[in-house]
Structure 1
Amino acid sequence: MFKLINKFNNLEISAAMPLLTMDFNVEKLKTSYWKIGIILDLRCQNKNFAGFMSETAGHYTYTNLYNWLILGESLDSVLPRLNDSTYSVVTDLVIATPILDGYVLHDVYNPSKYHGGSLNVTELGDWHRSSGLNITLTHSKFNRRANYHGMILRVLTVTQFKPNNTRLEDYLEDYSNKSIDLMSKFVYPLMQHLCDIFNFTMDLSTDFYWDEIAENGSHTGMMGMLNRGFADITGSPGAINQKRFPLGELVMPIWNFRTCFFFLSSPLRSTNELLQPFSTGSWYATGALTILIALILSISLAFEKIDHWIRQYGIALFSTICILCQQGSSVIPNFLTGRLVFLQLLFFSLLIFNYYSACIVSVRLNQPLDKINDSLNELAESNMDIAAERIVYYDYLLETSTDWEVQMLKEKRWSKMSDAKKYLPLEEGLKRITRGGFAYHCDPNRGYPLMEKLFTSEMICRLSEVHLYHPQGLGAWVGHHSPFREIARVGLAKINDMGLRKRQAIRWSARKPICVNVQQTVNSVTFTEIKAAIFLLLLGVMLSLIICLLENIIYNWNTKKRYERDN
């Protein structure tokens, strides 16, 4: 034995040979990150073997982190001394019994003693001093142990809408109402595939809750039953968080879950829509060209023998503005110079006016939506009313989430609402979305089918989402120290790699309504969008009144002066 330890040390493998006394602490063998090999020689005269084997079983030292080699006189002398209460398909235990010039090696495991499993002993190979090690059992561990021979696998699922007169199996296969108890219906075929792969017999049962805490502090529901050993694996995906880990062990995520607030985004209203077609530089250039053309036109009008220079420049300025605004002109030059200036002005105004009008129409047809970010805080600060479908995990998430945005929504909006306004039935909530100014929370897989029926194409294109529960995986769970954890992980990974999980996810998930822009629609012009034009109109009216008043004052003053001078 000392030579063996020296060989291990030479290979940089830590090795020790403790004495198996009554006070030997089995906790020294516990490991979480690396494998431990244990060599036990039952040929030694030690009465503590039975206690040691029982203690190692109680500390779960027969997982895939432990490799056992037990030396004995014969199989008949070794097998009765084993404690296989915590053996499973991942147990790596070899019994070596002597022959003439070597040892015969036997692979030993029990799929699950508490589920009616029996000890399986298979010849692994042999070792001879002359030829060395010869392994005849070459198949992988899981392939050669994959047949559970019809062992019962207790699957516990959650159903909240199952009729009493319907078999659980028939209800979970009902595709006509797939949005009800959707996640449980999705997992059921995966469990069927798992049982087919490893030859299990499924014992299916159901509960109403995922996890409920009773008055005495104990957990009920699916996770509570799993924790107390009444189920082997969950038939409904459960949330992956710290509060669930004391109740069971995660196998792997199998379902992508999310929930959202849905609402209709309004078209973005702009207060300077009349100025948007041109940039600031373009407006300055247009103004400068207008003044330049007016000056050139006024010079050309000098040949028209207009009686006063003020009238000459006034006619040029107002004619330029009228032509640019497509209002025509009351003055038509008689000379070629003036007519050429008028012709250039008409071409310039035609291009500017048509381009400006086309931009206005294009903006009206392609108005962007006034969307908010995928942020609960922005939703809480908006002026939209909110409500939610009454689902079990909504209040649970609001109470347990440490996300600051969830807490902001709860403090700013949800906690201030009365219970009567917090919850609405699914169809009523979606109908309120169509009226605008309302955000409704539900599971997309329940909401999408109804949206396709209730919403118009234009509403579907305006539909926006703000996640309360961002996309994340929900997992399959087994009990602590379950003998089925690794085999379930291998089976579900194989189901995933073969595409069966994705196929079921596509089959049971609801399709998001598709935005189809069949025709362009123009929304009504609001006061906010045309207030700049109204302001210009009122400014012009006020300026006209002021000028009219001044003209009347000047006219009356001149008339009075002329009258006094004549008299």
Structure 2
Amino acid sequence: MLLKCLLVLKLITICLSYENEFIVDYYKHKEISRIVGFFCGNTTRMFKLINKFNNLEISAAMPLLTMDFNVEKLKTSYWKIGIILDLRCQNKNFAGFMSETAGHYTYTNLYNWLILGESLDSVLPRLNDSTYSVVTDLVIATPILDGYVLHDVYNPSKYHGGSLNVTELGDWHRSSGLNITLTHSKFNRRANYHGMILRVLTVTQFKPNNTRLEDYLEDYSNKSIDLMSKFVYPLMQHLCDIFNFTMDLSTDFYWDEIAENGSHTGMMGMLNRGFADITGSPGAINQKRFPLGELVMPIWNFRTCFFFLSSPLRSTNELLQPFSTGSWYATGALTILIALILSISLAFEKIDHWIRQYGIALFSTICILCQQGSSVIPNFLTGRLVFLQLLFFSLLIFNYYSACIVSVRLNQPLDKINDSLNELAESNMDIAAERIVYYDYLLETSTDWEVQMLKEKRWSKMSDAKKYLPLEEGLKRITRGGFAYHCDPNRGYPLMEKLFTSEMICRLSEVHLYHPQGLGAWVGHHSPFREIARVGLAKINDMGLRKRQAIRWSARKPICVNVQQTVNSVTFTEIKAAIFLLLLGVMLSLIICLLENIIYNWNTKKRYERDN
């Protein structure tokens, strides 16, 4: 026995002579830039080790491990830190230190532990693996004759029945240096959880009592009900298959509900109190959720809209719209020019008065342009050539004008509003919404200016009886026009395909309340499954499985198919210019008629007086 102790003592003494070289080689391999070491008090050795690290531009500190040592000093949020712990010292503070480091969660992927010990059997009982996980980077180095043997240590989750896993990582020899034999990535070699239970909590608000939860989440016939939970369930199945978990599935009615005493209930509250490991329904990503859990990654693209039918754009100058301003000016100038040429050609027709000559030319030009013909037919070739040219000009102008009018009537643009809640609030449309929990939640908590405008201008002024409508009734009211209804597109689109005509689908417009945003999977704070869930869901996303499930469970937007073009009735607004022109002509005719009668009577009277 004494001989064995002497051999161990001699082995330790030999190893101490080149231990600094081993430690430096190890952290050079790990590419760590900050080191904290706890040794047995050999000041000279510690200074030499610090000097070696500084020569490699690695900052190092070697404090004494006392009872009042503050573990908070080891905390890091961005940079990796290496921690060296020599358990060969007879330091009674080790147990408390190991417990405190576990309580401060210093076994995440930001910490790289190197523990020096006489043997595995002397080190393993002294470890506190309560907060170990698959990302724990802890290596135990034990001496051999001319170097060290390294063992990789982790526990997937002690509180879930996991046990300490010890695997030989490699060795270090003074002659050959560091030799790592365990070259697979950390997640690949630790991916098997050996059937460990993963508690998944989902939200179902419409599940029948006599239906198994698993069967309900696989029910595709009613996919629009509890759709997000049904989407996440196959992703959780894939995650369990990848890492060999056993899923323990449970459900709640709410995502997040605040009780009278201020505590959180529902899915997020249960997650926060440790009754679940991961959410089986995607949750909103906002500041109010972060105190309740940690985000894994966004997995579902979520949005909600107000739906309504846009009306065709009504133009008040449809009669002038076919031609541009320049075209109208050119047409008017050519009309006057042709009228002048025609009046000159009529000089050969021996018309008794020049006023009558110019009047005939002007009115004939206007009549021909309006496709009304002319009561005067020139006898000479000059006049007939002018008439022929005028007929061709009027034919082209009339065809262009009428074709443009018909084209506009067949392809009337829709009078759409921007994707703006404020514009919706200022419109004259009635509004209502499907009774869904996140609608009231957003109106009450959102600081977005447009949401507040909608609430102040419209929603707060409505009675409770008019605010909410069942989904089918709300969509039917959309078909009558002048009404905007808020719902989840994944619930609304399937019914729209049944209730709306093709023409209504083409007129369908949307104004977002929730603009497209990601909803995420959540785990509890300091969960041992956070990183493995992130890796697994990222792998599921990269393989296209998430996209496949999103396509499978999302509702297709109704497709606008213009099977036939229809012309809407002409409204009074659109023809008021023509009516105004007609009334103006009638009034002008009456005035001229009145003036002619006055002049005629005056001339008649003058002639009578002269004759008598």
Q: Same fold (TM over 0.5)?
A: yes
Distance (Å, rounded) in 2 between the aligned partners of 1:522 and 1:416: 38
Is 1:9 paired with 2:45?
no
Offset, 1:131? 2.2
Offset, 1:104? 1.5
For residues 61-98 of structure 1, the C-alpha deviation after alignment (integer angstroms, 9 at most, x for no partner) is: 00000111111111111111111000000001111112
Offset, 1:487? 0.3
| Greater Cα shift, 284-293 or 520-529 | 284-293
Offset, 1:3? 2.2
Which runs of 5 or more structure 2 residues have no equivalent in the other structure? 1-45
Distance (Å, rounded) in 2 between the aligned partners of 1:250 and 1:445: 24
For residues 387-418 of structure 1, the C-alpha deviation after alignment (integer angstroms, 9 at most, x for no partner) is: 11111100111111111111111111111111
Which of the residues 479, 485, 489 maps onto 2:530? 485
Distance (Å, rounded) in 2 between the aligned partners of 1:313 and 1:36: 102
The secondary structure found in structure 2 opposite 1:23 is coil
Offset, 1:565? 2.4
Distance (Å, rounded) in 1 between the aligned partners of 2:485 and 2:346: 68
Offset, 1:475? 0.4
Distance (Å, rounded) in 2 between the aligned partners of 1:127 and 1:351: 96
Offset, 1:564? 2.3
Offset, 1:550? 1.0
| Greater Cα shift, 245-254 or 280-289 | 280-289
The secondary structure found in structure 2 opposite 1:301 is helix
Q: Normalising by structure 2, what TM-score?
A: 0.92
Distance (Å, rounded) in 2 between the aligned partners of 1:265 and 1:183: 30
For residues 10-65 of structure 1, the C-alpha deviation after alignment (integer angstroms, 9 at most, x for no partner) is: 11111111111111111111111111111111111101111110011000000000
Distance (Å, rounded) in 2 between the aligned partners of 1:121 and 1:5: 30
The secondary structure found in structure 2 opposite 1:15 is strand
Offset, 1:566? 2.4
Distance (Å, rounded) in 1 between the aligned partners of 2:535 and 2:139: 23
For residues 260-286 of structure 1, the C-alpha deviation after alignment (integer angstroms, 9 at most, x for no partner) is: 111111111111110011111111111
The secondary structure found in structure 2 opposite 1:356 is helix
Which of the residues 420, 423, 433 maps onto 1:388? 433
Distance (Å, rounded) in 1 between the aligned partners of 2:505 and 2:381: 60
For residues 351-386 of structure 1, the C-alpha deviation after alignment (integer angstroms, 9 at most, x for no partner) is: 111111111111111111111111111111111111
Distance (Å, rounded) in 2 between the aligned partners of 1:151 and 1:280: 78
For residues 446-494 of structure 1, the C-alpha deviation after alignment (integer angstroms, 9 at most, x for no partner) is: 1111111111111111111111101111000000000000000000000
| Greater Cα shift, 73-82 or 470-479 | 73-82
Q: Normalising by structure 1, what TM-score?
A: 0.99
| Greater Cα shift, 288-297 or 493-502 | 288-297
Distance (Å, rounded) in 1 between the aligned partners of 2:474 and 2:379: 72
Distance (Å, rounded) in 2 between the aligned partners of 1:107 and 1:316: 107
Distance (Å, rounded) in 2 between the aligned partners of 1:217 and 1:471: 30
> Segments of 4+ in structure 1 off by > 3 A?
none
Distance (Å, rounded) in 2 between the aligned partners of 1:258 and 1:167: 29
Offset, 1:2? 3.0
| Greater Cα shift, 48-57 or 68-77 | 68-77
Distance (Å, rounded) in 1 between the aligned partners of 2:369 and 2:444: 65
For residues 531-567 of structure 1, the C-alpha deviation after alignment (integer angstroms, 9 at most, x for no partner) is: 0000000000000111111111111222222222223
Offset, 1:439? 0.8
Distance (Å, rounded) in 1 between the aligned partners of 2:81 and 2:525: 21
Offset, 1:130? 2.3
Is 1:42 paired with 2:92?
no
Distance (Å, rounded) in 2 between the aligned partners of 1:123 and 1:344: 103
Distance (Å, rounded) in 2 between the aligned partners of 1:106 and 1:344: 103
Offset, 1:312? 1.3
Distance (Å, rounded) in 1 between the aligned partners of 2:334 and 2:425: 50
Is 1:449 paired with 2:497?
no
Distance (Å, rounded) in 1 between the aligned partners of 2:367 and 2:172: 109
Which of the residues 277, 287, 297 maps onto 2:332? 287
Distance (Å, rounded) in 2 between the aligned partners of 1:536 and 1:449: 49
Q: Alignment RMSD, CA only?
A: 0.9
For residues 288-314 of structure 1, the C-alpha deviation after alignment (integer angstroms, 9 at most, x for no partner) is: 111111111111112212122211111
For residues 483-527 of structure 1, the C-alpha deviation after alignment (integer angstroms, 9 at most, x for no partner) is: 000000000000000000000001001111111111111111011
| Greater Cα shift, 402-411 or 555-564 | 555-564
Which of the residues 75, 84, 88 maps onto 2:120? 75
Distance (Å, rounded) in 2 between the aligned partners of 1:124 and 1:345: 100
Offset, 1:108? 0.6
Offset, 1:129? 2.1
| Greater Cα shift, 391-400 or 3-12 | 3-12
The secondary structure found in structure 2 opposite 1:378 is helix
Distance (Å, rounded) in 2 between the aligned partners of 1:251 and 1:529: 57
Distance (Å, rounded) in 2 between the aligned partners of 1:117 and 1:534: 87
Query: When the two structures are aligned, how many residues end up with a matched partner?
Result: 567
For residues 180-222 of structure 1, the C-alpha deviation after alignment (integer angstroms, 9 at most, x for no partner) is: 1010000000000000000000000000110000000000000
| Greater Cα shift, 224-233 or 338-347 | 338-347
For residues 291-340 of structure 1, the C-alpha deviation after alignment (integer angstroms, 9 at most, x for no partner) is: 11111111111221212221111111111111110001111111111111
Distance (Å, rounded) in 1 between the aligned partners of 2:470 and 2:241: 40
The secondary structure found in structure 2 opposite 1:241 is coil
Distance (Å, rounded) in 1 between the aligned partners of 2:91 and 2:324: 96
| Greater Cα shift, 215-224 or 514-523 | 514-523
Offset, 1:429? 0.8
Offset, 1:232? 0.1
Partner of 2:475: 430
Is 1:506 paired with 2:583?
no
Partner of 2:349: 304
State how 1:126-205 maps to structure 2 within 5 Å: 126-205=171-250
Distance (Å, rounded) in 1 between the aligned partners of 2:174 and 2:391: 111
Distance (Å, rounded) in 1 between the aligned partners of 2:427 and 2:241: 52
Is 1:243 paired with 2:308?
no
For residues 112-171 of structure 1, the C-alpha deviation after alignment (integer angstroms, 9 at most, x for no partner) is: 000000111111111222222221211111111000000000000000010001000000
Distance (Å, rounded) in 2 between the aligned partners of 1:397 and 1:181: 19
Partner of 2:39: none
Distance (Å, rounded) in 1 between the aligned partners of 2:487 and 2:194: 43
| Greater Cα shift, 502-511 or 284-293 | 284-293
Identity of aligned residues (%): 100
